Amino acid sequence: MTRILLISDLHLAGERPEPADRFFRFLEQQASQAQALYVLGDLFEYWLGDDALAAAEGDPLARRVAHAFAALSRSGVKLYVMHGNRDFLMGDAFARAAHATLIDDPSVVAIGGVPTLLMHGDTLCTDDTDYQAWRRICRTPQWQREFLAKPLAERRRVGEDLRETSRSMAREKPPEIMDVTSGAVRSAFLSHGVARMIHGHTHRPARHAMEVDGRQCERWVLPDWYGTGGYIEVVDAQPKLVMF
């Protein structure tokens, strides 16, 4: 029996201990019994840079997460991590510390033998034009070099400001703007030639069925961990949404 687990949008942060505690229990109880764990973005509320792992003024929660991931990986569970819109600066140093493999967004992976399109999901929300414009800026090498060149304390202030700006803008936008668009979903299915997609970002856990170019396709959305949290479990090619 093949058992694959997928999670996203945990938004772990030191000031939110309950999701972190739930996450560590999840690693010990559920993930340890799987063949592989995929993290599809926004593991952290924000990521200041890999140097925060080692710096004295860095992030102790990030170090604890990397240590727990490494232990999981050493136990035989394969670990894959994708960038989200909050932690896109995670790099090779974190991957090495966590014994994880960073995967591209998007990636097509055989999950339970079924070619599956894995995404964080933010690129599917094409009606959110303000966010898409910001995404194009912050993903440029120049922006990232300039940000990572700042002292860690300044990066933390910038990260907190960006988080508050994001929350403020989200409160002002109609909910449908921050969801995926059918055109973007259809285009993703067509361009990657798959019939199954799994993503996070929208915080709207569900299974959606649609026909694309004569094929029956399904889109699975992962839950966030602001509430009770949850994950998708794929056992012998059959996905199931599990809420805590």
All structural domains of the chain with their residue ranges: 3-243
What is the model's pLDDT at position 174? 86
Q: What is the pTM of this model?
A: 0.96
- What average pLDDT values come out for the chain (244 residues) when binned by 10 residues? 96 94 98 98 95 82 96 98 96 96 98 97 96 96 96 91 82 87 98 98 97 96 95 96 97
The DSSP string of the chain is --EEEEE----B-TT-HHHHHHHHHHHHHTGGGSSEEEEES-SBS----GGGGTSTTS-HHHHHHHHHHHHHHHTT-EEEEE--SSSTT--HHHHHHHT-EEE-SSEEEEETTEEEEEE-SGGG-TT-HHHHHHHHHHTSHHHHHHHHTS-HHHHHHHHHHHHHHHHHHHHHS-GGGGSPPHHHHHHHHHHHT-SEEEE-SS---EEEEEEETTEEEEEEEPPPSSSS-EEEEEETTEEEEEE-
User: Does domain 3-243 sit in CATH 3.40.640.10?
Assistant: no
